[in-house]
């Protein structure tokens, strides 16, 4: 699915919800084996409970890579269970010299057939271009993150303009709005209006709603565009909303709250 397909999907579902599958064996509800088999079974239940509400799913690859060969197998099996009509994101934050980035792009865009891949911009244009060479895929560049360390470089006032603004402005010229998306943390919602002045038409992937304290309503008020323009991600707030046998029902309820909040802006 490309951006055009994503826009159509958002319009049809009246939702900008992205569900993050940051699955951890130790956090699985009772009844699931605390291993990769249990994680896959859990992922299937979450997808089944949310597939009519979510337009996108984001797999944070670190939670799978940490498990070695079994984790990589789980990653590919989880990718395979995602609905075909969803926008499928590998949250891998890759980025390296050109020939290495080419291999990362091949792994995630060809072998595993993800629609979008998160990319770190620090090494500059030649580290991002190999991803942009896949014109039917979406390169999702880190723009402004919610972690405490973001003040070290991204919003540090010694840089004028602030470094994240330079990143957004520069990278937005390297590809089209069909090829590029940017990550903007939900806890920075009040900054979205200014960000929209820099990148008015690009889609934004906004993590941090739910467990990290971000508000879907605030994000939409400051960042939504005429075609939606947002993928609002919640991971822990949906996955682990309940540790009981009602986990899927409660996960769906949490997903419904976010989807409904975004529908008001479509």
Hey, which residues are catalytic here?
93
If you count them, how many residues does the chain have? 266
Query: Of 250, 211, 245, 240, which Cα lies nearest the Cα of 26?
Result: 240
Contact present, 97 and 126 (Cβ < 8 Å): yes
Mapped onto helix, strand or coil, the DSSP state of residue 198 is helix
CB atoms within 10 A of CB 121: 20
Rg (CA), the chain: 18
The Cα 265–Cα 216 span in angstroms is 11
Cα–Cα dist 239/226, whole Å: 30
Fill in the DSSP letter of residue 188: G
């Amino acid at each position: 699915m490309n951006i055009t397909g994503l826009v159509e999907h958002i319009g049809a579902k009246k939702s900008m919800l992205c569900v993050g599958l940051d699955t951890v064996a130790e956090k699985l509800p009772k009844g699931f084996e605390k291993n990769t088999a249990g994680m896959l079974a859990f992922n299937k239940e979450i997808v089944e409970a949310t597939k009519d509400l979510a337009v996108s799913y984001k797999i944070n690859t670190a939670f799978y890579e940490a498990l070695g060969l079994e984790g990589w197998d789980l990653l590919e099996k989880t990718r395979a269970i995602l609905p075909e009509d969803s926008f499928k994101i590998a949250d891998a934050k890759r980025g390296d010299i050109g020939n290495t980035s080419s291999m990362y792009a091949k792994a995630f865009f060809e072998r595993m057939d993800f629609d979008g891949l998160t990319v770190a911009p620090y090494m500059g244009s030649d580290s991002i271009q190999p991803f942009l060479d896949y014109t039917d895929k979406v390169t999702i560049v880190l723009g402004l993150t919610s972690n405490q360390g973001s003040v070290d470089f991204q919003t540090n006032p010694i840089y004028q303009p602030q470094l994240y603004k330079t990143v957004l402005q520069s990278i937005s010229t390297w590809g089209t709005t069909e090829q590029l998306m940017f990550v903007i943390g939900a806890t920075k919602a009040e900054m979205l209006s200014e960000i929209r002045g820099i990148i008015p038409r690009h889609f934004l992937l906004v993590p941090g709603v739910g467990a990290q304290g971000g508000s879907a309503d605030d994000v939409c008020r400051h960042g939504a565009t005429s075609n939606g323009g947002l993928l609002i991600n919640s991971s822990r707030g949906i996955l682990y909303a309940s540790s009981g046998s009602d986990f899927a029902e409660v996960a769906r309820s949490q997903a419904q709250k976010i989807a409904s909040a975004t529908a008001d802006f479509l």
